[in-house]
Amino acid sequence: MAGYIPYGRQSVTEDDIAAVVEVLKSDFLTQGPVVPAFEEAVAKISDARFGVAANSATSALHMACMALEVGPGDSVWTSPLTFVASSNAALYCGASVDFVDVDERSYNMCPERLAGKLDRAASEGRLPKVIIPVHLTGQSCDMAAIHAAASKYGVRIIEDASHTIGGAFGANPVGHCEYSDIAIFSFHPVKIVTTGEGGMAMTNDPELAERMRAGRSHGITRDPALLERVDDGAWYYEQHSLGYNYRMTDINAALGLSQMDRLADFITRRREVAATYDAAFADMPVMTPWQHPDAASAWHLYVIRVDAARHRAVFDHLRAVGIGVNLHYIPIYLQPYYRKLGFSPGFCPNAEAYYAEAISIPMFPTITEEQQQTVIAEVAKVVCA
């Protein structure tokens, strides 16, 4: 469509293309030196000890659950406002899933509701093994409060930071794992940095890092320190667990590594776009994103909320004029698959109220001033009518 403005768009430069071509001409298309270099680059900006790359953030979430030994009989709690991968990863391990409603302002997991739900679960002997808070739109959850609630009962934490590379909470970048065991980034094309498809798990725990490395590669290790037999040849390897083929290729990693050079520029530009929207919608009947005072958003998404009675009209109008708005997300437990697991409407009222009003409008570094003003004007045509 001529003039189409998507809600998100990757930025790929000639330098990115050259980096990929260099790998294509090399001896290693996969399992070569570029994946470790990419892991080191992401670990450096996250101030984490280890990065474990995977072929998707979904795979990384599954690896993280496996590393924390989630299995049948365990329960994992997450946010209802996220892509289904956040909860599906627990189901892959044979665990059950439950949801904690979101905060009305940030749309992230509500620490107060989490604390209350944990207290009740403790009294009933049904505490979760793992909690997966999700940093929706690029803004970190209140991880200090979530960690305080979880650590009271020894519950482990995986941050789903798929939206949030380049963001921060308190004094540390997201991915630092100050308040979690593992944090997960996504490198899907509409994310802040892309590898085409890909993800990465960050951790400061060497044992968890090793478990995830094994989990992404069939449960196999060649590490002499871990082998049960050490007198065989250099070809020798051992499978110690049931893993998967979740490896990232050097082709994908080359794109991501090149993009990391522009991460700061991506974040700066996204914040500029957000500030323009904030100012433009200040005098309209539009709710703009609230920002936690201790968090610095990476602004993966810019979500507005409009009156529920006009929600469909605004969404349909924007799509009709070539603005590719979206809605992130349908509460997971409303999906038919999850309803069959026993969930029903009304389970998380704040999440459902958000769903009735939310629209993700275009947010990406290369959006032009003209495109952004078009988005603003078209929103105004409906909400101010």
Please list the helix, strand and coil fractions of the chain in percent, rounded to the nearest 5, in that order: 40, 15, 45
Q: What pLDDT does residue 355 have?
A: 98
Single-letter amino acid code for the residue at 328: H
Per DSSP, the residues of 234-295 read TT--EE-S---B-PPBHHHHHHHHHHHTTHHHHHHHHHHHHHHHHHHHTTTT-BPPP--TTE
Q: What pLDDT does residue 39 have?
A: 98
Q: Yes or no: say if 217 and 59 are a contact pair by the CB < 8 Å rule.
A: no
Q: Yes or no: say if 170 and 144 are a contact pair by the CB < 8 Å rule.
A: yes
Distance spanning both ends of the chain, measured CA to CA: 26
Q: Yes or no: say if 10 and 365 are a contact pair by the CB < 8 Å rule.
A: no
pLDDT at 232 over 90: no
Q: What pLDDT does residue 101 have?
A: 98
Q: Yes or no: say if 246 and 217 are a contact pair by the CB < 8 Å rule.
A: yes
pLDDT tens-digit map of 263-319: 999 999 999 999 999 999 999 999 999 999 999 999 999 999 999 999 999 999 999
pLDDT tens-digit map of 317-328: 999 999 999 999
Find the mean pLDDT for residues 341-364: 98
Helices 250-260, 14-24: crossing angle, 10 deg rounding = 150
Q: Yes or no: say if 212 and 52 are a contact pair by the CB < 8 Å rule.
A: yes
pLDDT tens-digit map of 75-104: 999 999 999 999 999 999 999 999 999 999
Find the mean pLDDT for residues 123-142: 98
Single-letter amino acid code for the residue at 106: S
Closest CA to 143 of 116, 172, 117, 180: 180
Sign of CA dihedral 298, 326, 199, 150: positive
| Residue pointed to by tokens 């893993």 | 243
Q: What pLDDT does residue 283 have?
A: 95
- Between the CA of residue 257 and those of 74, 274, 278, what are the distances in Å? 37, 26, 32
Single-letter amino acid code for the residue at 303: V
Q: Yes or no: say if 74 and 130 are a contact pair by the CB < 8 Å rule.
A: yes
Find the mean pLDDT for residues 107-135: 98
- Between the CA of residue 196 and those of 58, 249, 254, what are the distances in Å? 14, 11, 10
β-pairing verdict for 168-169 and 96-99: unpaired
Instruction: Go through 350-377 and write b for each residue having 16 or more CB atoms within 10 A of its CB, e for each that does not.
Output: bbbebbebbbbbbbbbebeeebbebbbe
Q: What pLDDT does residue 2 have?
A: 52
385 band by pLDDT with thresholds 50, 70 and 90:
confident
Cβ neighbors of 47 (< 8 A, separation 6 or more) are 172, 173, 175, 176
Find the mean pLDDT for residues 151-179: 98
CA 203 to chain centre: 15
Q: Yes or no: say if 221 and 209 are a contact pair by the CB < 8 Å rule.
A: no
| Spatial distance between the Cα atoms of 27 and 8, rounded to a whole number of angstroms | 34
Single-letter amino acid code for the residue at 124: E
Q: What pLDDT does residue 330 have?
A: 98
Find the mean pLDDT for residues 61-65: 98
pLDDT tens-digit map of 134-153: 999 999 999 999 999 999 99
pLDDT at 1 over 80: no
pLDDT at 382 over 90: yes
Q: What pLDDT does residue 234 have?
A: 85
pLDDT tens-digit map of 178-197: 999 999 999 999 999 999 99
Q: What is the pTM of this model?
A: 0.97
